[in-house]
Amino acid sequence: MMVRAQWLFHSLIFPLCLLACAEMPASHPVRQAQDPVNVLESLKNGNQRFVHGELLHPRQGPDERLALAKGQAPGAIVLSCADSRVPPEVLFDQGLGDLFVVRVAGNIAGPAEVASIEYALEHLGSRLLVVMGHDSCGAVNAALSTPPGKSAGSPDLDRLVSEIQRNLAREHFQLKSADPANHNQAMANVDAVAEDLRQRSEIVRERVEKGDLRIVRSIYDLSTGQVEFWSR
């Protein structure tokens, strides 16, 4: 029954949702597509405000809400972990309509995540894609602590864990770590996911090659609040 429900979602409901979204006023963005360099600078500045406890909570009032009801043009797409301590809008101190956020445990790029990113690229004009992992990620920890052939608890958990295990294997990481926060492993997972997006999605790859999309990798420190960025 669960498999059938998932099939129904992925085959019918999710595409219909995307179609419905595409029919919404998204085709009339309230802002022009933004320069990815400026958007990244805005994220870095917002993160510094967050780190120092100086949040501005920008663009979150009724006027912005009303304007955004007519359409959206988020400056950045953020693929990040579903962890409750890692909300991109908060830790980058951004407002309504600023970020198109795709969140999933372990910030992996499965079919629904890739499709969501492609939708934002095709319809919303975003030109910056941030893949963000974080220290002490439960999904990464599960991948490191689940021996090959052992179940993580359910078929879907197994798929998630094995995807991260593949990512770590691709980056030549052993499935053991002395660092309880698994910082390097979380970074390796981000690197593999960013590369995965280019390989799996023609829309992503073409835009990167044309210079219309910048992919930036990042990792969030749970205790300092600092986001570290890097590119390849």
Q: Which residues bind Zn ion (CB under 5 A)?
A: 81, 83, 137
Looking at this protein, which amino acid is placed at residue 69? Answer: A
Q: How far is the CB of 83 from Zn ion (least distance, A)?
A: 4
- Whichever of 127 and 183 has its CB closer to Zn ion, that residue is 183
Q: How far is the CB of 8 from Zn ion (least distance, A)?
A: 28
Q: How far is the CB of 3 from Zn ion (least distance, A)?
A: 26
- Whichever of 105 and 208 has its CB closer to Zn ion, that residue is 105
In the chain the first and final C-alpha atoms are separated, in Å, by: 43
- Whichever of 83 and 93 has its CB closer to Zn ion, that residue is 83
Sort 181 into a burial class: Cβ within 10 Å, 0-12 / 13-18 / 19+. middle
* Cα–Cα dist 99/75, whole Å: 6
DSSP string, 114-130: HHHHHHIIIII---EEE
The closest alpha carbon to 73, from 18, 23, 122, belongs to 122
Q: How far is the CB of 109 from Zn ion (least distance, A)?
A: 14
- Whichever of 79 and 137 has its CB closer to Zn ion, that residue is 137
- Residue 173 tokens read as 């990481």
